[in-house]
Structure 1
């Protein structure tokens, strides 16, 4: 997904022990708020749902650490 493009700017790009929530720009609480707002209009609802599902998967990864 395009939401993971912000991982390119991290050093190292992939760290299995790093929680991506609040670390990457597209994984901040502000961005998550925008993703929730995308659920309101019908035209952006599926995009918002996909982004929220992605964030939930990342949260589960953070909890498993």
Structure 2
């Protein structure tokens, strides 16, 4: 595994943790850091669409625009999930995931 790929995976856990820590660390009675981080990590669920690709994992392939859950219509839905309070953290987690995948695509060029 390359350093870029390892960093990419690490950022998928670290960035949601940082967001949860910055915005939810003081809300122990309502949502709390761990619950917020868990909901943000649900953004990883969109990687299920990698199972449709052959090969499933290709270190040099850009996910954005290639996998169905990494396309513009899907990203618009993730943006809409940020509006209702009940789905906000999941939506933010999905958008963080897409942003990190887009960053990875830039680093591959």
Bin for the TM-score computed over the shorter chain: over 0.9
Cα distance in 1 for partners of 2:99, 2:55 equals 23
> CA shift at 1:45, angstroms?
0.3
2:97 matched residue in structure 1 = 54
Instruction: Mark the runs of 5 or more structure 2 residues left unpaired by the alignment.
Output: 1-43
Instruction: Mark the runs of 5 or more structure 1 residues left unpaired by the alignment.
Output: none
Higher helix content, 1 or 2? 2
Runs of 4+ in 1 over 6 A off after TM superposition: none
Aligned residues: 65
Alignment of 1:1-65 (within 5 A): 1-65=44-108
TM-score by length of 1: 0.97
Cα distance in 2 for partners of 1:45, 1:2 equals 16
Cα distance in 1 for partners of 2:94, 2:52 equals 19
State the superposition RMSD in angstroms: 0.5
Larger Rg: 2
Cα distance in 2 for partners of 1:5, 1:35 equals 15
